[in-house]
Structure 1
Amino acid sequence: MSLTIPVSENDHIVGDPNTAKIVLVEYGDYECSHCGDAFPIVKKFVDENRKEVAFVFRNFPLKDAHPNAMAAAATAEASAKQGKFWEMHDQIFQSHADLSEETLAQLVEAVGLDPDAVKNDIESAELQNKIEEDFEGGVRSGVNGTPSFFVNGEKWEGYDGTEESLSSLLSE
């Protein structure tokens, strides 16, 4: 399967997708234990290979299985409005086992965000539409679980939970 929505300025991106050898897109759910396990591995891979890898995170909250996933995605997107998406993204994944309303509020404070602005942004149609667009784009691209990865626009089934599986991308 191919990525139906190309990477654009609407995405949250680490690195330069125009010059990177690999553009890695993850559809993830902040409350998913598999995504939580993948987080430090993906982060290390991206951090160590910034010149060769661009990383994009898109929301794919599995609301039926993970009751706090939507609130976590909304908190991350609201953080983006204050220029702190990646800081919140990292904090949420580091707390993925407990994403209660109280925990998310503590993370908003820890990242140094304006809590009133976050609350207003979370409730905005614009932010809810962004999450829904990510999700629908994932569905149309064949995402049926999280984490799901795309490499240079093609669905990649090679991630096995190890650093080696990601590193193999650079040698292909």
Structure 2
Amino acid sequence: MAALTRDIEPQDHVKGLDDAPVTLVEYGDFECPYCGETVGVIDGVQLLMGERLRYVFRHFPLIEPHPHALHAAGLSEAASDAGKFWDAHRILYDNQHALDDRSLRNYGRRLGLVAEAIEAALSGRYAERIDLDFQSGIESGVNATPTLFINGQRYDGRRDVRGLHAALLAAAG
């Protein structure tokens, strides 16, 4: 079974307590329709698990089938610098059908980002940060999105609320 090769680090995007008994890591792509479907599942298990779950999102933009994924990831990083990563995460997944640069600029403005930050994001300012996630995904055996890890072990089970919740409960002991 594949395992995470990189521990949770300060630059990771985390929801939940550091000492939660279960950590769910997702390698995702904002333009991936399967990742878009998984957002609701993860929202559901977060509600069910409460403080027992720490959720971590890492970038894995598949730029060949998803030409806007890298710029969307960059915008989310600019939002992160403003303390608004999870707001950007929601906007980008809610608007997967419109992730061209013009739309991304609009989302950036809605998030309250200044024009310079938006343009820097679209010009590759965060490429190294995004690549760090991507490379750690490759090293951990990620080859598609979304890929999930529960307490460091790859999860290939059902991706509905019931199936994922059962796996998280089992991991929580």
TM-score above 0.5 = yes
Are residues 1:151 and 2:150 paired?
yes
Question: Could you tell me how far apart the structure 2 residues matched to 1:132 and 1:170 are?
Answer: 28
Deviation of 1:118 (Å): 2.5
- Give matches, 1:47-126, under 5 Å: 47-123=47-123, 125=125
Unmatched segments (≥5 aa) in structure 1: none
The Cα of 1:9 is off from its aligned counterpart by 1.1
For residues 26 and 162 of structure 2, what CA distance do their matches in structure 1 show?
Answer: 17
Q: Does 1:14 align with 2:15?
A: yes
SS at structure 2 position matched to 1:117: helix
Q: Which residue of 1 aligns with 2:35?
A: 35
**8 Å CA contact 1:122, 1:128 repeated in 2:** no
**Please, what is the CA RMSD of the aligned residues?**
1.4
Gaps of at least 5 residues in structure 2 are: none
Q: Return the TM-score normalized by structure 1.
A: 0.92
Runs (4+) off by over 3 Å:
121-125
* Paired residues of 1:22 and 1:151 also in contact (CA < 8 A): yes
Query: TM-score, normalised to structure 2's length?
Result: 0.92
Summarize deviations over 1:4-54 as a string: whole Å, max 9, x none: 11111120100113x212100000010000001111211232244231000
Q: What's the counterpart of residue 171 of structure 1? A: 169
- SS of the residue 2:27 aligns to: strand
Question: Which residue of structure 2 aligns with residue 132 of structure 1?
Answer: 131
Maintained 8 Å contact 2:105/2:118:
no
Letter in 2 for 1:156: Y
CA distance in 1, matches of 2:44, 2:143: 25
Deviations 1:83-142 (A, max 9, x none): 1111001110111122111211111122222222232244355x2101001000000000
1:78 touches 1:122 (CA, 8 Å); kept in 2?
no
